[in-house]
Chains A and B, each alone.
Chain A
Amino acid sequence: MEIAYEIGASVTGGLAYVGSLASLGTQAAYFTFVAPFRGKPLRWQRAVSQAMDVGVRALPILSLISFFVGLILALQGAYELRKLGALNLIAQGVAITITRELGPLITAIVVIGRSGSAFAAELGTMRVTEEIDALETMAINPIRFLVTPKFLAMIVMLPCLTIWADFMGIFGGSVFGVSQADFTWASYFQATTDALLMRDIVTGLIKSIMFGITITAVGCHEGLSTGGGAEEVGRSVTRAVVISLFLVIVVDLVFTTLFFYTG
């Protein structure tokens, strides 16, 4: 009986959490698409500077990681394919795996580490130092002022980063292909473009937008619900990272299943 109660409480807690994320996302959508027409302008400058932080400054580390993952993928694929004498399929395997799955996922993981945690730390510190209360007493909605630019930056930058990660991943694979599998740069590129359908890239990008929304919602929610004290800020950051990782995988599973059954 007690176990049933515990399970029930966990499920209710989980649903309430997802509900509060959805509420935060809805409010941010309102302040992005509706409020500007009611005299509450978007903070474009802030959104652009957030986009620089989330996107441009993530490029070096994302490039390295996705390049290495592409290379690893080619190495692991070749291990099996060479037994079948089918090393020429490497380009196809790397291209599809990277664009449909690993590109968006690696980008999301890098962004969680860099930006999801930073959102939680920034808003958590502002909560502790009463800056968020100060905004409220000045009749400035903290979600419009602080959260909406972050959503905008993430929704725009995650697909861009994902395209870059796809490119770098494929480049990583091609290094192996050219050096070890009788490809030339031109033939590897040709094999990749032949294997890829627009659908592969688009499904990856749709996933990346959903990841962006998830990471921002969790980071901001954890930051805004920080209790008192510096210790709580640290706890919020940890929770933001762990919950974002988990939810990104869940969202990935849901969308991959959806794309699988819709052909």
Chain B
Amino acid sequence: MAAMHSQFADDFSGKTMISVRDLRVRYGEREILHGVNFEVKHGETMVIMGGSGSGKSTLLRALVGLEKPSAGEIWLKGKDIATISQEELDDIRKQIGMSFQGGALFGSMSVRDNVALPLREHTELEESTIEIMIRLKLQHVGLTGYEEYMPSQLSGGMKKRAAVARALAMDPEILFFDEPSAGLDPIIAAGIDTLILDLKRAFRMTVIVVTHELASAFLIADRMILIDKGNIVATGTKEEMKANQHPRVRQFLDRVPEPEVAQELDYLQMLTEDVRVS
């Protein structure tokens, strides 16, 4: 274990920001992720794709420490977050930002207070400095002038932008996005994609995006992972993914629906998977 620790610690002094080793996550009896392995380099945008129920959101939650793995390792900035203490995990969390699917802005606080919250909680900065930082972050996401708005007064796209501003508050090295374009119209969704690209260019951040929107994925990704039923079925660059002939990759990228099931019994069998229906 000690040897392994030093090996990864060395890796992180170089380019690897995230390294996931044989990650398994289970909810009760049900295993959601069955041994996932991948690495993300510094400054890279990794898109995790997969259908509904594939385990991609669980993977993202595990990466930020919201789900405890049942086995395996998640190395973030040289530390295995599955085994470290709460204090160490909190130290790492101060260096990451997460944008949730619905924004997860605090409904009882204005946009200003939402963005200021991590700064007020974790820094000793003067309120005047915090004010300047809030303005800067809102400027980055195109929400200048919306400081006093309450989250309920914002549109879906604006909520996501405000959530990104809050995620940027502590100048994180890694940004995580859960379904950034879900529930948005194509124009607003494209705006969020552009925002992610701009942030990456401007701040050289490592970005992890979970999505099932193909257009968005192929626009922003440096590398991609396709996850299916808790396993990674393909990893690679955009071109490698397009050329990949794995049937599940082809089905996902070519948007082929699951085959029609003619017989009632076959349909039940498909739903219950392993369990024999007779």
- Residues in A lying within 8 Å of B, measured CB to CB: 125-126, 129-131, 133-134, 136-140
Contacts and interface: CB of A to CB of B under 8 A. Distances in A.
Contacts of A125: 107
B93 to A, nearest CB: 4
A136 B118 contact: no
A137 B90 contact: no
Range, interface on chain B: 20 to 34
B66 interface: yes
A125 B107 CA distance: 10
Contacts of A126: 106
12 contacts: A130-B100, A131-B105, A133-B61, A133-B66, A133-B100, A134-B98, A134-B100, A134-B104, A137-B66, A138-B93, A138-B117, A139-B90
Contacts of A134: 98, 100, 104, 106
Interface of B: 61, 64-66, 89-91, 93-94, 96, 98, 100-102, 104-107, 117-118, 121-122, 176
Residue in A131, A136, A137 with the greatest tally of chain B CB atoms within 10 Å: A137
A129 B66 contact: no
B107 A137 contact: no
Contacts of A136: 65-66, 93
A255 B156 CA distance: 52
B205 to A, nearest CB: 16
B118 A140 contact: yes
B94 A131 contact: no
A140 B101 contact: no
A139 B94 contact: yes
* Shortest 7 CB-CB contacts between residues of A and residues of B: A139-B90, A134-B104, A139-B93, A130-B104, A137-B98, A130-B100, A138-B118
A137 B90 CA distance: 8
Contact of A129 (B98, B102, B176): B102
A40 to B, nearest CB: 9
Nearest to B169: A138
A48 to B, nearest CB: 15
B168 to A, nearest CB: 12
Residue in B64, B93, B100, B121 with the greatest tally of chain A CB atoms within 10 Å: B121
A125 to B, nearest CB: 8
A125 B121 CA distance: 23
A129 B117 contact: no
Contacts of B101: 130
Given A129-B102, A130-B100, A131-B105, 8 more contacts: A133-B100, A134-B106, A137-B93, A137-B96, A137-B176, A139-B93, A139-B121, A140-B117
A91 to B, nearest CB: 46
A58 to B, nearest CB: 20
A42 to B, nearest CB: 13
A140 B121 contact: yes
A134 B121 CA distance: 14
Nearest to B92: A139
Contacts of B102: 129-130
Contacts of B122: 139
Contacts of A138: 93-94, 117-118, 121
B106 A131 contact: yes
A137 B121 CA distance: 13
Nearest to A128: B102
A137 B81 CA distance: 13
B94 to A, nearest CB: 5
Contact of B104 (A129, A139, A140): A129
B106 A137 contact: no
A129 B66 CA distance: 15
Nearest to B98: A137
A139 B91 CA distance: 7
Contacts of A140: 117-118, 121
Contacts of B106: 126, 131, 134
Nearest to B108: A122
A130 B65 CA distance: 14
Contacts of A131: 104-107
B206 to A, nearest CB: 16
Contacts of B89: 139
A138 B95 CA distance: 9
A138 to B, nearest CB: 5
B119 to A, nearest CB: 10
Contacts of B118: 138-140
Contacts of B107: 125, 129, 131
Contacts of B91: 139
